[in-house]
């Protein structure tokens, strides 16, 4: 085997690896972006109908779908320009390693403990709160526009931030790793028509950032004291304190590429803690 053939093999391996990484992060960001996922599903449905019409010999349907497929890409770029731009921005903000993954088991346990303690106090005293935990998709754009704190996470600090008449109590707190990065963050509100109209701005903002990124949003209602968590484009409303704790523990566990589970040692630690 000559050096030229060895170099060609190495180049081919690197080439395939780069393409694989590109597709991995593109698909990963599409998965985290609910709007783009729905857009892709719609395109696949149109292609499927076109294949069925060609197979069944539906001339009119096939002709119409040919026009749709021919001019569809241009129409999609115009109609869904905000979503496409958001997906590209999200891809640019993505981190190779999520900040929460560098936390040890003890640090994750403390993170969940402090958040739940603060949520419990806010729930009992009817203090509205919105706490967002950054994961793989960076929230730096929202952090830059908020009030920087970069403080150690404690339940007392969280409660004091959301205490009524505090200048920052209306916005959201963003947590990176096990530290509070900022307070008073503002997120885009969700336009999901299925969302209960009685839910206020906090819940819509929590769902909005969960639709745009893979962040975890914890909401405490100021009117009812109910706890909700928005994650992966879905809002889980009126959770018990234990349900909220278990959901946070499950979502913050580091995922493996094979089966997305934690090691047996970590599972034992969580079971002992609860």
DSSP letter for each residue of 110-138: HHHHHHHHHHHHHHHHT--EEEEE--SB-
Is 99-273 CATH 3.40.50.2300? no
Q: How far is residue 134's CA from residue 172's CA, in Å, rounded to a whole number?
A: 12
Q: Is 0.85 surpassed by the pTM of this model?
A: no
| Nearest residue to 251 via CA among 207, 225, 214 | 214
Q: How far is residue 72's CA from residue 67's CA, in Å, rounded to a whole number?
A: 8
- The pLDDT assigned to 236 comes to 93
- The pLDDT assigned to 102 comes to 65
pLDDT in tens, the chain (274 residues): 677 778 888 888 888 888 887 777 666 666 555 666 667 777 788 888 888 888 888 888 778 877 777 777 777 777 666 666 666 665 555 544 444 446 788 888 999 999 999 999 999 999 999 999 998 888 888 998 899 988 999 999 999 999 988 888 888 999 998 899 999 999 988 887 777 778 888 999 999 999 888 899 999 999 999 999 999 888 999 999 999 999 999 998 876 534 444 444 444 444 444 4
- The pLDDT assigned to 244 comes to 95
Boundaries of every domain in the chain:
3-93, 99-273
Is the Cα torsion angle 96, 258, 266, 122 positive or negative in sign? Answer: positive
- The pLDDT assigned to 268 comes to 45
- The pLDDT assigned to 182 comes to 93
Q: Are strands 147-152 and 179-185 parallel, antiparallel or unpaired?
A: antiparallel
Contacts of 117 (CB under 8 A, 6+ apart): 155
Contacts of 218 (CB under 8 A, 6+ apart): 115, 119, 129, 130, 131, 132, 133, 206, 227, 228, 229, 244, 248
- The pLDDT assigned to 160 comes to 94
Helix axes 59-79, 34-56, angle to 10 degrees: 160
Contact in structure between 160 and 190 (CB atoms under 8 Å): no
């Amino acid at each position: 085997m000559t050096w030229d053939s060895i170099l060609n093999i190495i180049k081919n391996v690197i080439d395939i690896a780069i393409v694989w990484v590109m597709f991995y992060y593109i698909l990963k960001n599409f998965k985290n972006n609910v709007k783009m996922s729905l857009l892709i599903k719609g395109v696949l449905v149109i292609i499927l109908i076109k294949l069925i019409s060609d197979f069944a010999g539906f001339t009119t349907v096939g002709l119409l779908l040919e026009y749709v497929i021919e001019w569809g890409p241009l129409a999609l770029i115009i109609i869904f320009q905000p979503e496409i731009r958001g997906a590209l921005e999200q891809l640019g903000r993505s981190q190779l390693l999520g900040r929460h993954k560098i936390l040890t088991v003890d640090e994750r346990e403390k993170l969940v403990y402090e958040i739940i303690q603060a949520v419990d106090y806010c729930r009992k005293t009817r203090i509205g709160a919105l706490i967002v935990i950054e994961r793989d998709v960076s929230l730096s754009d929202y952090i830059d526009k908020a009030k920087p704190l970069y403080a150690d996470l404690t339940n007392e600090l969280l409660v004091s931030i959301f205490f009524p008449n505090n200048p920052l109590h209306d916005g959201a707190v963003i947590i990176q790793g096990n530290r509070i990065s900022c307070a008073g963050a503002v997120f885009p509100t969700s336009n999901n028509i299925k969302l209960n109209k009685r839910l206020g701005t906090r819940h819509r903002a929590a769902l909005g950032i969960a639709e745009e990124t893979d962040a975890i949003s914890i909401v405490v209602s100021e009117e009812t004291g109910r706890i909700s968590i928005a994650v992966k484009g879905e809002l889980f409303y009126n959770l018990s304190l234990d349900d909220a704790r278990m959901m946070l523990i499950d979502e913050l566990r580091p995922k493996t590429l094979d089966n997305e589970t934690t090691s047996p040692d970590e599972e034992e630690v969580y079971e002992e803690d609860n």
